[in-house]
């Protein structure tokens, strides 16, 4: 009788040990996946910040009236002129945050896209997962401003969520299940700085 009880106890203990090992393996794999995803997102964030910063620094390039080169500003977009091809004719550039339409491929329902229009021709930044984005504008004294002729510094903040949820158990509509990176950059507009 005791042998049967010992045998059943051994089976139960072995099963519990096996389940514990499988759970540890799953947790380790999920942790490794999340770590790699965070490194990938941080790299994407740095590249995106650098590309956007360089595009914003172009504002006012080869423009004689630096007080009229920024055309419009708000939290989600900016438009400015610059003569990037040095032909004497300024190009109008608009950088804006837009929602994805139904035909754009994205798994994350919170995704937005950042689009740069140069004379009306769109170019979508190669970054997925932008969910929050905001421009803030400052004058040369670092005072926040909404007057286009006073803008000398642009601050942009963004939040990136991973393309895919790290944990599918609660579904794709739970933003807390995505890996997240937050970024902020300040851009000094050297072409329109009136020294």
* Tens digit of each residue's pLDDT (9 = 90 or more) over 129-188: 788 899 999 999 999 999 999 999 999 999 988 877 776 665 556 666 778 889 999 999
Q: Model-level pTM?
A: 0.77
Per-residue model confidence (pLDDT) at position 106: 66
> Is 61:80 a contact under the CB 8 Å cutoff?
no
**Sequence ranges of the domains in the chain:** 2-192
**Which residues of 26-172 form beta strands (DSSP E)?**
70-73, 77-82, 91-99, 112-118, 121-124, 130-138, 153-161
Q: How many CB atoms lie within 10 A of CB 58?
A: 18
* Span 4-31, pLDDT tens digits: 777 777 777 777 777 776 666 666 666 7
* Span 84-136, pLDDT tens digits: 888 988 999 999 998 877 666 666 777 888 899 999 999 988 777 788 899 99
Per-residue model confidence (pLDDT) at position 23: 66
Which among 135, 149, 147, 158 is positioned nearest to 192, based on CA atoms? 149
Per-residue model confidence (pLDDT) at position 152: 94
């Amino acid at each position: 009788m005791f042998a049967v009880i010992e045998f059943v106890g051994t089976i139960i203990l072995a099963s519990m040990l096996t389940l514990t090992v499988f759970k540890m393996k799953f947790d380790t794999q999920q942790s490794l996946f999340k770590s790699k995803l965070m490194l990938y997102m941080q790299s994407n964030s740095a590249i995106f910040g650098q590309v956007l910063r360089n595009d914003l620094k172009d504002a006012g390039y080869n423009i004689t009236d630096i007080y009229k080169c920024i055309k419009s500003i708000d939290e989600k977009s900016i438009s400015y002129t610059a003569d990037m091809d040095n032909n004497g004719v300024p190009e109008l550039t608009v950088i804006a945050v837009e929602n994805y339409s139904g035909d754009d491929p994205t798994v994350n329902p919170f995704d937005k896209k950042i689009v740069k229009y140069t004379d009306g021709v769109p170019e979508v930044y190669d970054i997925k997962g932008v969910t929050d984005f905001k421009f803030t504008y400052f004058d040369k004294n670092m005072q926040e401003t909404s007057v286009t002729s006073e803008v000398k510094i642009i601050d942009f903040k963004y939040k990136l969520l991973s393309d895919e949820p790290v944990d599918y158990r609660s579904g794709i509509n739970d933003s807390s299940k995505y890996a997240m990176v937050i970024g902020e950059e300040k851009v000094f507009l050297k072409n329109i700085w009136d020294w």
